[in-house]
Amino acid sequence: MKFFGLLAYEYRMSIQRRSMLIIMGIFTIFYGYLWMQMDLDYDMAFVSREAMLSEAGQAAFFINLFFPVIAGIAAADRAVRDTKLGVREILQATELKNSTYVLGKYLGVSLSLLSMIVFIATAVSLFVVFLTEAPLAFVLYSLLAVVVLSGPAIFFVTAFSLACPLVLPVRAYQILFTGYWYWGNYLSPQVLPTVSDTLLNASGKYALMGLFGVQISVNTPLVSPMDVAANIVVLLTCAGLALMVMTAYINWRESRV
């Protein structure tokens, strides 16, 4: 019961941050503008299920260029804030376990960010349907794409954004995280050593190629559905490990007081 209370509270706190909603709105408008600039053959783009899947996948991949950055930055001050405002002391006075606290906070923040991205994807795809007379099914394909491409990314970045600022200053983490999002997901290994061509890539590249049939470039190796599953499992495992370390760190820190 405490877990669901915590989750609901975190969800409300996170989704009501007006500043983040405005920033997401600004970049979503820019994203919509770019969509309209594309030389898309609308008659061909929505002619078949495969074509719609491909369009929906690319749209979600495009949202992933910037949305996880906002998500990671927004989540970074959530855990630190509790200590700063003295909420941790109040929570410690209850019988709330640290593992429940971490999991409730994590799921509350992650689900709120996921709701926002689902809202953005729905709004943009409805706009596309309205503008191009694409079938309404395109909205469903978009939702599927955003859950498969952006979902793992959100769960991955939120875990690290909650855990890392416990040992790093928040703003230093936020700057490093922004740099990481480019370095770890989009930078070519031929330029600098990077993890972007490994299963640690969180941009949704694997799902886009393996499930939505989009070939990013001619040099990119083919991706099978097994690779997509492995990519998602690796990201979620890393997120789980980060949360376990976070819980252990809070236990250790509070045992010293």
Partner 1 sequence: MHTWFKYTVQAFQKDLFWLPLALMGLFSLIAWMLPAEKQYDTARSFIGFLLPLIAGGFSAYAFLEDDALELQFSTQRPAWRMIVERLGIVAVVIAATSLIFQGIAALLGISLAPLGGFLQRQLVWLVPSLCMIVIGGVGALLSRSSSGGLAFIGSLWIIQLLLRGWFIRQRVWRNILLFYGVMDPLGNNRIANQLTLLGIAILLMVVIHNLLKKQERYI
Q: Nearer Cβ to partner 1, position 97 or 171?
A: 171
Q: Nearer Cβ to partner 1, position 74 or 232?
A: 74
119 is a contact residue toward partner 1 (CB under 8 A): no
Q: Can you point out the beta strands (E) in 11-110? A: none
19 is a contact residue toward partner 1 (CB under 8 A): yes
7 is a contact residue toward partner 1 (CB under 8 A): no
Q: Nearer Cβ to partner 1, position 5 or 25?
A: 25
Report the nearest approach of partner 1 to the CB of residue 224 (Å): 26
Q: Can you point out the beta strands (E) in the chain? A: none
Phi, psi of 159 (to 5 degrees): -60, -45
For 147-178, give the DSSP string: HHHHHHHHHHHHHHHHHGGGTS-HHHHHHHHH
Q: Which residues, numbered 139-198, are part of the site for partner 1 (CB under 8 A)?
A: 169-172, 174-179, 181-182, 186, 191-193
Report the nearest approach of partner 1 to the CB of residue 95 (Å): 31
Instruction: Output the six-digit token pair for 72.
Output: 């990671």
Applying CB under 8 A, the span of 6-14, 64-72, 97-105, 221-229 interacting with partner 1 comes to 64-72
Report how far Cα 79 is from the mean position of its chain's Cα atoms: 18
For the chain, the maximum distance between any two Cα atoms, rounded to a whole number of angstroms, is 66
Report the nearest approach of partner 1 to the CB of residue 76 (Å): 7
Residue pair 201/184 in contact (Cβ under 8 Å)? The answer is yes
Q: How far apart are CA 143 and CA 118, in angstroms?
A: 7
69 is a contact residue toward partner 1 (CB under 8 A): yes
77 is a contact residue toward partner 1 (CB under 8 A): yes
Report the nearest approach of partner 1 to the CB of residue 137 (Å): 29
Helix (H, G, I), strand (E, B) or coil at 134: coil
CA neighbours closer than 13 Å in the CB half-sphere of residue 220: 18
Q: How far apart are CA 77 and CA 168, in angstroms?
A: 11
Report the nearest approach of partner 1 to the CB of residue 23 (Å): 5
65 is a contact residue toward partner 1 (CB under 8 A): yes
Number of residues in contact with partner 1 under rule CB under 8 A? 34
Closest C-alpha to 107, from 83, 75, 81: 75
Contact residues for partner 1 (CB under 8 A)? 17-20, 22-23, 26-27, 30, 34, 65-66, 69-70, 73-74, 76-77, 169-172, 174-179, 181-182, 186, 191-193
